[in-house]
Structure 1
């Protein structure tokens, strides 16, 4: 998930990932947003944005929607096209409850590992199912050509804090403590709805909602640049 090392940030070769990082960088350095200003890295003042990738998931998503509803929170979801085809009722429910839906590709595949035509097919097939102008690239991986294509069609949404909820070596308590120490105003947080997070997500989300409220911050949807 978004592997990067600072020296690579200035590379311009079309096959270099947006960021090539070491391991488990939770908080994205602000210089990254400066280098890639057309991408969305931060939310609105006084708030944080909860975002969820990879769904919809038949067990996690209904539970998550229930928790968000009971806490009066709207979130932004970046869902895979193939998952939406399996669970269209969850897309319908999320939209009816006021959440913002973006897409995450039809298949969860790195842009740098597929050719141009495959990338376009993966992007367009997913976009047709969601009909959204918000896209988050799997792993944060894109070539320059792919990024330009996306930005002509809509918004390229990144993040400022990665939860690593999918990493089995990181405990729920450790993750919550990282958030308590690192997350602040305008951060866009990423969590995941998949088999790797199925046991951890139900423990961390209620605690994280409380931590954010204890900081005196609100919850907001990702705002478009245009």
Structure 2
């Protein structure tokens, strides 16, 4: 069970996390979690180039280690990058010290002031630890969840999720992962084509 649009109450309960960006013109903030990996991340980069779009990639440290050339291409294309832990840890089920160490291990490779907790699961104690360890860290969430990770979701429904719910200043979450590929391949290019015709621009999250 997951919500496509983040409810206002959740944002109010966790004000130390960033859920959306101030609305400034017609702009959408596309984000991609779990890469970089072969096939999927290059596919995303190619689609973004077609629309002169910038996005934010929240990278798993171990994937950066395995595929440094793809990571470098993400940066070379002018996209923002963020930390997504080294091993995609779920904060609610991980001891704080282990979580911090995993974040720091990824930070050695990624070196970003942006962080997104895998699954959106992070304890308040972990938020404090991470921010103490890296002053200026921004913990970025989202307010539109595409559902591309859901293997039971039809690609058409994934597209419907983002088109019906996204508006100015929204942070939209996709995944550059093999698990998401079937839905991502269908939804991302179609959504970007429609949004572009509606006059939206695509920017990376402010660092």
* TM over 0.5, shorter chain: yes
For structure 1, which segment, 176-185 or 80-89, has the greater mean C-alpha deviation from structure 2 after superposition?
A: 176-185
* TM-score w.r.t. length of structure 2: 0.92
Q: Which residue of 2 aligns with 1:191?
A: 174
Query: Is the counterpart of residue 178 in structure 1 residue 156 in structure 2?
Result: no
**1:177-223 Cα shifts (integer Å, max 9, x gaps):** 22221111111000112221122222211011023224332211112
Q: Secondary structure at the match of 2:181?
A: coil
Q: Which residue of 2 aligns with 1:12?
A: none
In structure 1, distance between residues paired with 2:139 and 2:37 = 23
Q: Which residue of 2 aligns with 1:87?
A: 67
Q: Which residue of 2 aligns with 1:41?
A: 19
Query: Is the counterpart of residue 24 in structure 1 residue 2 in structure 2?
Result: yes
For structure 1, which segment, 69-78 or 174-183, has the greater mean C-alpha deviation from structure 2 after superposition?
A: 174-183
Query: How many residue pairs get matched?
Result: 202
Q: Once superposed, what is the RMSD of the aligned Cα atoms? A: 1.4
* TM-score w.r.t. length of structure 1: 0.85
Unaligned runs of at least 5 residues, structure 2: none
> Per the alignment, do residues 220 and 44 of structure 1 end up closer, same or farther by CA in structure 2, a change over 3 Å counting?
farther
Q: Which residue of 2 aligns with 1:3?
A: none
Identify the match of residue 163 of structure 1 among 146, 150, 153. Answer: 146
- TM alignment of 1:1-226, pairs within 5 A: 23-45=1-23, 46-152=26-132, 153=134, 154-224=137-207
> Per the alignment, do residues 208 and 120 of structure 1 end up closer, same or farther by CA in structure 2, a change over 3 Å counting?
same
* TM superposition shift of 1:149: 2.0
1:135 touches 1:150 (CA, 8 Å); kept in 2?
A: no
Unaligned runs of at least 5 residues, structure 1: 1-22
